[in-house]
Structure formats: C-alpha cells, structure tokens
C-alpha cells in the first residue's frame, strides 16, 4: 500500500483512516494524558503518535519486507531502543 501511495493517494488515505488512524488516535490519547500528568511534554499528540509508530513498527517491518531476517531478540532490541529513544525525547525539560 505504501509503495503505491503516490499513484493512488485517495486509496492510501482511506486505508490509513481505516487501518492506522484508530491506533494513532488511541496512542495520541495516551500521550496527551501523560503530558497532562506532567510525565511527557508532547505538543502535537497525533504527530508524535505517527512518529512513534514509524519508529517502533515501520522500521522493523521495512527491514523484514526487504528480505532480511530478524531474530526475535533483534526485533525486541530494536523496539525497546525506539521506545526508549522516543520517551527520552518526549520528557519534560
């Protein structure tokens, strides 16, 4: 879907709204709650949620789809690194 998005932007937008946006909104709500509680400092929760998902999900998926293999421990390492990096970057200053 992502590869052909430039040719079929309407289909991609519909796909995003059905498949990804509910997860993005759910995560954005969590980020907003954590920001209100003072544990994070997120200015744009929807943007932050999209970036988080790109870091945690899209990175490993692209690597695997490209024909590379990742052992479970490598996937776990990459996901933990991305989550840690994101959360440290979102800490209040």
- Looking at residue 68, its pLDDT comes to 87
CA 30 to CA 67: how far, in whole Å? 34
CA 71 to CA 79: how far, in whole Å? 12
- Looking at residue 26, its pLDDT comes to 97
Mean pLDDT (the chain) is: 91
33 has a pLDDT exceeding 90: yes
Q: What is the largest CA-CA distance in the chain?
A: 42
Where are the alpha helices (H) located in the chain, listed in sequence order?
Answer: 9-15, 21-36, 45-53, 59-65, 72-89
- Looking at residue 58, its pLDDT comes to 83
DSSP for 54-66 reads IIIIIHHHHHHHT
pLDDT band, very low/low/confident/very high, at 36 (cuts 50, 70, 90): very high
């Amino acid at each position: 879907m992502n590869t052909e998005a430039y040719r079929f932007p309407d289909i991609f937008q519909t796909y995003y709204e059905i498949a990804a946006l509910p997860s993005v909104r759910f995560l954005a709500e969590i980020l907003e709650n954590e920001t209100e509680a003072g544990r994070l400092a997120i200015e744009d929760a929807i943007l932050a949620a999209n970036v988080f998902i790109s870091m945690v999900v899209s990175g490993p998926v692209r690597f695997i789809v490209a024909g590379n293999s990742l052992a479970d421990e490598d996937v776990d390492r990459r996901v933990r690194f991305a989550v840690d990096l994101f959360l440290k970057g979102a800490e209040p200053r």
